[in-house]
């Protein structure tokens, strides 16, 4: 039996859009997820790798209780910053929440997150059985500390160009995992992932991606970062630092957090840190769009086509969901 499942995803990094709505800018996946859940008996599961952490509100553009409008949201404020969050933990937690939502007779709506996480959940990819080589992993970690992240990224580029282009050099954990996979299997992890993408999903789902003109997307990114700084991101990171959070933690490697932490450590001026956050967020958004274009089941929703009208976008989504028999015709 296939299960009903709705996926929503903003182009790029979803936290870019959350505060844009507050500033009166165009609709985003978070707002549409809540609207859809209210209209059709749904509950929301966040796939955002930062909103799952407590004490990290501004930099993650975490949805606030009043914005949830009474809709149950899962995977928000569930972990402490010193805990690791990765694709295996995400899929394990998400599957448990899907069971709860189905048991309550409701429709799960997955909002936010990266293409990598969503692919793992949609196609039930099992990462837990993959082998690991702890000694080789420690060796790579030491090389990253000694020579920098770019050194490992260049190693990956030599053996798996596709993965190197898909994984940012600063995402050291994923770079190491790709190198470790190649070391153990002799196979490129990009080829492995492509094979996994061909798997049939156990879900009856709709995979929506909100899209916009690149110039407008980048403009909103810049405004979003300025809004984060104005809202107190520096103080938020200082509090995390005072709690003992360091750049080695997964949570502190998120966009916005690692740059402000570097500013607090005297590596950048605040102006430089803000510039880097904006630049890296644009790059992240571009990589995510490239990822989604490769996904075979994506339904693109171009904001400009709908005149940036949230109601019109929601109406179109509902029509598609009815055609797929995920929700009933009223």
Strands 107-111 and 42-46: parallel
> Could you tell me if 159 and 262 lie in one domain?
no
Max Cα–Cα distance, the chain, nearest Å: 62
Judge contact between 301 and 126, C-beta under 8 A.
no
CATH, residue 254 = 3.40.50.300
pLDDT for residue 24? 30
| Three-class DSSP category at 329 | coil
Q: What percent of the chain is helix, strand and coil (3-state, nearest 5)?
A: 55, 10, 35
Domain stops at, among 194, 218, 245: 194
Judge contact between 69 and 103, C-beta under 8 A.
no
217-271 residue pLDDT tens? 999 999 999 999 999 999 999 999 999 999 889 899 899 999 999 999 999 999 9
- 301: tokens are 């929703």
Structural domain count of the chain: 2
> Could you tell me if 9 and 50 lie in one domain?
yes
Closest by Cα among 25, 95, 33 to 63: 33
pLDDT for residue 19? 26
Q: Is residue 328 part of a domain?
A: no
Distances (CA, A) of 189 to 132, 180, 268, 310, 312: 13, 9, 35, 38, 40
> Could you tell me if 272 and 148 lie in one domain?
no
> Could you tell me if 21 and 112 lie in one domain?
yes
> Could you tell me if 224 and 157 lie in one domain?
no
> Could you tell me if 143 and 180 lie in one domain?
yes
159-174 residue pLDDT tens? 999 999 888 888 888 8
pLDDT for residue 1? 44
> Could you tell me if 216 and 314 lie in one domain?
yes
pLDDT for residue 7? 59
pLDDT band for 130, please (50, 70, 90 cuts): low
> Could you tell me if 250 and 171 lie in one domain?
no
* C-alpha–C-alpha distance, residues 156 and 47, integer Å: 27
Lowest mean pLDDT among 6-10, 111-115, 153-157: 6-10
Across residues 266-289, what is the average pLDDT? 94
> Could you tell me if 237 and 283 lie in one domain?
yes
Return the H-helix or E-strand segment holding 204: strand 203-211
Domain stops at, among 144, 162, 194: 194
> Could you tell me if 254 and 278 lie in one domain?
yes
Residue 17 has pLDDT above 50, yes or no: no
- 256: tokens are 């916005």
Q: Is residue 310 part of a domain?
A: yes
Residue 27 has pLDDT above 60, yes or no: no
pLDDT for residue 168? 82
295-318 residue pLDDT tens? 888 999 999 999 999 899 999 999
Domain stops at, among 145, 162, 194: 194
Alpha helix (H) ranges present in 59-171?
65-68, 87-103, 115-122, 134-147, 149-159, 161-166
pLDDT for residue 202? 87
Domain that holds residue 188: 134-194
pLDDT for residue 318? 92
């Amino acid at each position: 039996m296939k299960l009903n499942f709705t996926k929503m995803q903003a182009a790029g990094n979803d936290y870019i859009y959350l505060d844009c709505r507050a500033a009166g800018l165009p609709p985003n996946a978070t707002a549409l997820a809540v609207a859809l859940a209210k209209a059709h008996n749904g509950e929301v599961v966040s796939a955002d790798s930062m909103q799952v952490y407590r004490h990290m509100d501004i930099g993650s553009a975490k949805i606030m209780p009043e914005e949830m409008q009474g809709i149950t949201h899962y995977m928000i404020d569930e972990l402490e910053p010193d805990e690791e969050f990765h694709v295996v933990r995400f899929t394990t937690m998400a599957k448990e929440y899907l069971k709860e939502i189905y048991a309550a007779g409701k429709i799960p709506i997955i909002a936010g997150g990266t293409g990598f996480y969503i692919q793992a959940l949609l196609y039930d990819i099992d990462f837990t059985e993959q082998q690991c080589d702890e000694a080789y992993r420690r060796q790579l970690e030491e090389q990253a500390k000694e020579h920098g992240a770019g050194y490992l990224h260049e190693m990956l580029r030599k053996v798996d160009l596709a993965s190197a282009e898909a994984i940012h050099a600063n995402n050291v954990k994923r770079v190491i995992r790709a190198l470790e996979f190649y070391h153990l299997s002799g196979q490129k992890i990009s080829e492995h992932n492509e094979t996994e993408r061909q798997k049939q999903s156990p879900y009856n789902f709709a995979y929506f991606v909100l899209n916009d003109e690149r110039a407008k997307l980048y403009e909103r990114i810049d405004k979003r970062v300025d809004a984060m700084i104005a809202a107190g991101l520096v103080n938020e990171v200082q509090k995390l630092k005072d709690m003992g959070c360091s750049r080695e933690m997964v949570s502190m490697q998120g966009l916005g957090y690692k740059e402000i932490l570097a500013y607090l450590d005297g590596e950048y001026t605040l102006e430089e840190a803000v510039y880097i956050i904006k630049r890296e967020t644009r790059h992240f958004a571009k990589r995510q769009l490239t990822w989604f274009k490769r996904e075979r089941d994506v339904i693109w929703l171009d904001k400009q086509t709908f005149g940036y009208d949230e109601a019109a976008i929601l109406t179109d989504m509902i029509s598609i969901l009815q055609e797929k028999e995920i929700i009933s015709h009223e």
